[in-house]
Structure 1
Amino acid sequence: MLNIKHFLYDFFIDKGLSKNTSEYLNMLGLLIALAMIAFAVDYVTKRLLWRFSSSVAKRTKTNFDNILISNKLPRNVAHIIPLLILIEFVPQVFSDFEFTQDIIEKTLKVITIILTLQIIRSLLSSVKDYLKTLPSYKDKPIDSYVQVFMIFAWLLGFFSIIAIVTGVSFLEFATTLGAASAVIILIFKDTILGFVASIQVSINDMVRIGDWITFEKYGADGEVTEINLATVKVQNWDKTITTIPTYALISDSFKNWRGMLSSGGRRIKRSVIVKVSTIKFLEPEDIAKLKKIQLVTNYIERKEIEINKYNVEHGADKSVLINGINLTNFGVFRKYLQTYIENHSAINKNMTLMVRQLEPTTQGIPMEIYAFSKDQRWENYEFIIGDIFDHVLAAVNYFDLEIYELDLGK
Structure 2
Amino acid sequence: MPITQEASRYPQMADSVANSLAVPLLADIPPWAEVLLGLGVLLAISVLANFLIKTIIWRFVARILPGESRTPVRIIARLVNIIPAVILSRGIAAVPHIPEVVVTVSRNVVGAFIVLTIALAISGALNYANELYQKRPEAANLPIKGYLQVLKILVFAAAAILMIAALMEQSPLLLLSGLGAMAAVLMLVFKDTILSLVASVQLTSNDMLRVGDWIEMPQLNADGDVIDIALHTVKVQNWDKTITSIPTHRLIDQSYKNWRGMSESGGRRIMRSLLIDQNSIRFLGNEEQADLRRLALIDDYLDRKQNELDQWNRRLITVGHDSINARRVTNIGTFRAYVIAYLHAHPSISRNMTLLVRQLEPTPKGLPLQIYCFTNTTVWKEYEGIQSDIFDHLLAILPQFDLRIFQEPSGLDLRGLSGAAEERVAATAQ
| TM-score, normalized by the shorter chain, greater than 0.5 | yes
* Residue 333 in structure 1 maps to residue 307 in structure 2: no
Distance 1:185 1:201 in 2: 22
Aligned-pair CA distance for 1:178:
3.5
Distance 1:337 1:379 in 2: 23
Say whether the 8 Å CA contact 2:275–2:367 is kept in structure 1.
Answer: yes
Aligned-pair CA distance for 1:315:
0.7
Distance 1:245 1:321 in 2: 69
Say whether the 8 Å CA contact 1:223–1:236 is kept in structure 2.
Answer: yes
Partner of 1:361: 363
Partner of 1:379: 381
Distance 1:381 1:265 in 2: 9
Say whether the 8 Å CA contact 1:357–1:365 is kept in structure 2.
Answer: yes
Selected match of 1:285 from 284, 287, 310: 287
Say whether the 8 Å CA contact 1:318–1:324 is kept in structure 2.
Answer: no
Partner of 1:210: 212
Aligned-pair CA distance for 1:326:
1.2
* Residue 241 in structure 1 maps to residue 238 in structure 2: no
Structure showing greater radius of gyration is: 2
Uncovered stretches (5+) of structure 2, i.e. residues with no partner:
1-114, 116-146, 163-170, 415-430
Say whether the 8 Å CA contact 1:274–1:402 is kept in structure 2.
Answer: yes
Say whether the 8 Å CA contact 1:317–1:324 is kept in structure 2.
Answer: no
Say whether the 8 Å CA contact 2:317–2:323 is kept in structure 1.
Answer: no
Q: Deviations over 1:317-374 (max 9, x none)?
A: 9998742111110011111101111111001111111111111101111011111111
Matched residue type, 2:307: I
Partner of 2:403: 401
Aligned-pair CA distance for 1:281:
1.2
Alignment of 1:108-147 (within 5 A): none
Q: Deviations over 1:88-119 (max 9, x none)?
A: xxxxxxxxxxxxxxx9xxxxxxxxxxxxxxxx
Partner of 2:316: 314
Normalising by the residue count of structure 1, what TM-score does the alignment of the two structures yield?
Answer: 0.57
Aligned-pair CA distance for 1:234:
0.8
Aligned-pair CA distance for 1:260:
0.4
Say whether the 8 Å CA contact 2:227–2:237 is kept in structure 1.
Answer: yes
Q: How many residues align?
A: 259
Distance 1:274 1:316 in 2: 37
Distance 2:323 2:382 in 1: 46
Distance 2:321 2:331 in 1: 19
Partner of 2:299: 297
Q: 1:282 to 1:406 in 2, by over 3 A?
A: same
Distance 1:199 1:269 in 2: 36
Q: Deviations over 1:389-408 (max 9, x none)?
A: 00110111110000011103
Selected match of 1:352 from 334, 343, 354: 354
Matched residue type, 1:184: L
Alignment of 1:10-25 (within 5 A): none
Q: 1:183 to 1:395 in 2, by over 3 A?
A: same
Matched residue type, 2:279: S
Distance 1:235 1:212 in 2: 9
Distance 2:320 2:392 in 1: 37
Helix, strand or coil: the match of 1:333? helix
Distance 1:274 1:394 in 2: 13
The CA RMSD measured in Å over matched residues stands at 3.3
Partner of 1:270: 272
Q: 1:317 to 1:326 in 2, by over 3 A?
A: farther
Partner of 1:222: 224
Alignment of 1:84-95 (within 5 A): none
Q: 1:231 to 1:284 in 2, by over 3 A?
A: same
Q: Deviations over 1:181-233 (max 9, x none)?
A: 21112222222221221111111111111111111011111111111111111
Partner of 1:33: none
Aligned-pair CA distance for 1:162:
5.4
Helix, strand or coil: the match of 1:315? helix
* Residue 186 in structure 1 maps to residue 170 in structure 2: no
Matched residue type, 2:219: K
Matched residue type, 2:312: Y
Normalising by the residue count of structure 2, what TM-score does the alignment of the two structures yield?
Answer: 0.55
Aligned-pair CA distance for 1:179:
2.0
Distance 1:311 1:220 in 2: 58
Aligned-pair CA distance for 1:172:
8.6
Helix, strand or coil: the match of 2:325? coil
Say whether the 8 Å CA contact 1:359–1:366 is kept in structure 2.
Answer: yes
Partner of 1:260: 262
Q: 1:403 to 1:396 in 2, by over 3 A?
A: same
Partner of 1:77: none
Selected match of 2:252 from 238, 247, 250: 250
Aligned-pair CA distance for 1:287:
1.2
Distance 1:287 1:319 in 2: 25
Distance 2:318 2:302 in 1: 20
Q: 1:396 to 1:336 in 2, by over 3 A?
A: same
Distance 1:336 1:320 in 2: 31
More helix by share: 2
Distance 1:317 1:402 in 2: 38
